A and B are shown apart, each in its own frame.
Chain A
Amino acid sequence: MDRKLKIDDVQDLRFPPVEIVPERLVSPPLYARAIGSEEQAYYSTDAALAAGLRGRPSPGLAFFHTVDEDALTEVIGVVYGRTLAAGAESEFGVMATERDTVIGQTYVEEAYRRPGKDGTMRQFLVLTTEFRLKETDELVSRSRITFIEKETE
């Protein structure tokens, strides 16, 4: 696999927005089991309603829900299992339930080079993904993930 991050070609790139109903993609109870959570709202709609929520909360949505693997690889050069994710940060607005319709969009926020501690150049690509409730346009989440690769040529 010799593809690298394509930081020179992707400044200001925005992938097309996608419409998602979380329950068609993700599973609150399976998520909760996988992290050992005892939060009953993930397991039961009744418990979620009793807690004042509109339904079971959706597990966090991510960039890979808005950009398919081929586009990620071909357009920006991120390859699962090879490209290192160097850090992440998220902000949250309203909570999306598994049955809400959300609009997600991913864009390249920054793409740059700088030397690492050993002096070799590294490429950084910051991908930001926003999800908003379709009905109200309220922000659900905005997440930034930084990919990093050593420059080899």
Chain B
Amino acid sequence: MNTAHDAAIGEQIPGRSFGPVTRMDFIRFSAATADPNRVHIEEDVAKAAGLPSVIGSGGIVGGVMSDVVTAWAGLGTIRRVSGKITFPLFPGTTVVVTGEVTGREERDGAVTLEVKVQATDENATPLGENTYWLELPAPG
């Protein structure tokens, strides 16, 4: 496995799985980020919104993706990220994060990654995807 400095276009970065996520994870994340959205915590609020149960913050899915990226490239290397959550994160879901190098410029250490999160259910339900633009520090 190459480092972020050596990785070629098309190379997979180390991914990881996470879960099964629990309601306590949702509560922990909401408390950690001061997220006021009660749909992550209160069953009644979630059901009033038409959901079968509470759902995890999109920040959990985004956070797991970003954590995979920074575990590979280093904290502080993400310059820009763009993406979307494609399916709610329900309690009991185990997620798998994968990422691929899709672009790089040797001159200034710029690297582009496509990162995806899927559930480990039988449909491999896509939960979210992000594009990351990184700026790597000079090697050495």
Contacts and interface: CB of A to CB of B under 8 A. Distances in A.
B34 A26 contact: yes
B60 A80 contact: no
Interface string B65-87: 00100110001101111111100
Interface of B: 16, 18-19, 25-26, 28-29, 31-39, 45-46, 48-49, 58-60, 62-64, 67, 70-71, 75-76, 78-85
B33 A59 contact: yes
Interface size class of A (residues with CB under 8 A): 35 or more
A96 B89 CA distance: 28
Contacts of A112: none
Contacts of B45: 81
Interface stretch (A6-14, A85-93, A101-109, A130-138): A85-93
Residue in A38, A85, A90 whose Cβ sees the most chain B Cβ within 10 Å: A90
Contacts of B71: 37-39
B34 A64 contact: yes
A35 B60 contact: yes
6 contacts: A34-B26, A34-B29, A62-B35, A81-B39, A90-B80, A92-B81
A36 B18 contact: yes
B76 A91 contact: no
A28 B63 CA distance: 12
Contacts of B32: 26-28, 30-31, 33-34, 59
